[in-house]
Amino acid sequence: MAEKIILKAENLSVNFKVRKRVLKAIRNVSLELRESETLAIVGESGSGKSVLTKTFTGMLESNGYIPEGRIEYNGKILSDLKKDKEWDGIRGKEIATIFQDPMTSLNPIKTIGSQISEVIVKHHGASKKEAKQIAIDLMSRTGIPNADKRYNEYPFQYSGGMRQRIVIAIALACRPKILICDEPTTALDVTIQAQILDLIKELQEEFQFTTIFITHDLGVVAAIADRVAVMYAGQIIETGTVEDIFYNPKHPYTWSLLSSLPQLGERGGDLFSIPGTPPSLYHDVIGDAFAPRNPYAMEIDFKEEPPMFKVSDSHYAKTWLMDPRAPHAEKPELIQNLHERFLELSKHEITQSFYEGGDLASGK
Ligand SMILES: Nc1ncnc2c1ncn2[C@@H]1O[C@H](COP(=O)(O)OP(=O)(O)OP(=O)(O)O)[C@@H](O)[C@H]1O
Ligand SMILES: [Mg+2]
Over the stretch 205-219, which tens digit does the pLDDT of each residue have?
A: 999 999 999 998 887
| Band of pLDDT at residue 191, cut at 50, 70 and 90 | confident
- Cβ-contact 194, 355 below 8 angstroms: yes
**Ligand 1 neighbourhood includes 216 CB (under 6 angstroms):** yes
Q: What is the pLDDT of residues 165-183, one digit of tens each?
A: 999 999 999 899 999 999 9
Q: Which residue's C-alpha comes closest to atom 29 of ligand 1? A: 46
Residue 339 above 90 pLDDT? Answer: no
| Band of pLDDT at residue 194, cut at 50, 70 and 90 | confident
* Residue % of the chain over a pLDDT of 70: 90
Residue 312 above 90 pLDDT? Answer: yes
What is the rounded CA–CA span in Å between residue 73 and residue 66? Answer: 16
Residue 357 above 50 pLDDT? Answer: no
The Cβ of residue 55 has, within 10 Å, a number of other Cβ atoms equal to 23
Residue 300 above 60 pLDDT? Answer: yes
Say what the pLDDT of residue 270 is: 59
The Cβ of residue 325 has, within 10 Å, a number of other Cβ atoms equal to 7
Say what the pLDDT of residue 43 is: 92
* Residue % of the chain over a pLDDT of 90: 69
Return the HEC string of 220-271: HHHHHCCEEEEEECCEEEEEEEHHHHHHCCCCHHHHHHHHCCHHHCCCCCCC
- Cβ-contact 32, 10 below 8 angstroms: no
User: What is the arithmetic mean of pLDDT over 119-131?
Assistant: 90
Nearest to 165 by CA among 223, 98, 119: 98
**Ligand 1 neighbourhood includes 59 CB (under 6 angstroms):** no
**Ligand 1 neighbourhood includes 16 CB (under 6 angstroms):** yes
Q: What is the pLDDT of residues 223-248, one digit of tens each?
A: 889 999 999 999 999 999 999 999 99
What is the rounded CA–CA span in Å between residue 40 and residue 49? Answer: 10
Ligand having the closest approach to the CA of 47: 1
E strands present in 43-142: 64-73, 76-77, 95-98
- Cβ-contact 41, 231 below 8 angstroms: yes
* Ligand 1: centre distance to CA 46 (Å): 5
Q: Which residue's C-alpha comes closest to atom 28 of ligand 1? A: 46
Strand order through the sheet with 64-73? 21-34, 5-18, 64-73, 76-77
What is the rounded CA–CA span in Å between residue 290 and residue 302? Answer: 9
Pairing of strands 210-214, 38-42: parallel
Q: What is the pLDDT of residues 7-16, one digit of tens each?
A: 999 999 999 9
The Cβ of residue 344 has, within 10 Å, a number of other Cβ atoms equal to 8
What is the rounded CA–CA span in Å between residue 334 and residue 332? Answer: 5
Q: What is the pLDDT of residues 19-53, one digit of tens each?
A: 999 999 999 999 999 999 999 999 999 999 999 99
Q: Which residue's C-alpha comes closest to atom 10 of ligand 1? A: 25
Ligand having the closest approach to the CA of 52: 1
Residue 92 above 70 pLDDT? Answer: yes
User: What is the arithmetic mean of pLDDT over 61-81?
Assistant: 96
Q: To test the ligand 1 pocket, which listed residue (29, 47, 51) has its Cβ within 8 A of the most ligand atoms?
A: 51
What is the rounded CA–CA span in Å between residue 139 and residue 157? Answer: 15
* Ligand 1: centre distance to CA 202 (Å): 30
- Cβ-contact 9, 29 below 8 angstroms: yes
Q: Which residue's C-alpha comes closest to atom 19 of ligand 1? A: 46
Say what the pLDDT of residue 345 is: 53
Q: Which residue's C-alpha comes closest to atom 17 of ligand 1? A: 50
Residue 353 above 70 pLDDT? Answer: no
User: What is the arithmetic mean of pLDDT over 260-265?
Assistant: 69
How much is the pTM? 0.91
| Band of pLDDT at residue 337, cut at 50, 70 and 90 | confident
- Cβ-contact 177, 95 below 8 angstroms: yes
Residues β-bridged to residue 24: 15
* Ligand 1: centre distance to CA 21 (Å): 15
Say what the pLDDT of residue 197 is: 87
Q: Which residue's C-alpha comes closest to atom 11 of ligand 1? A: 25
| Band of pLDDT at residue 363, cut at 50, 70 and 90 | very low
Return the DSSP state at 91: B
What's at 186, amino acid-wise? T
Residues 67-76 as b/e (b if ≥16 CB within 10 A, e otherwise) read: eebebbbeee
| Band of pLDDT at residue 294, cut at 50, 70 and 90 | very high
State the closest ligand 1 atom to the C-alpha of 54, by its place in the atom list counted from 1. Answer: 18
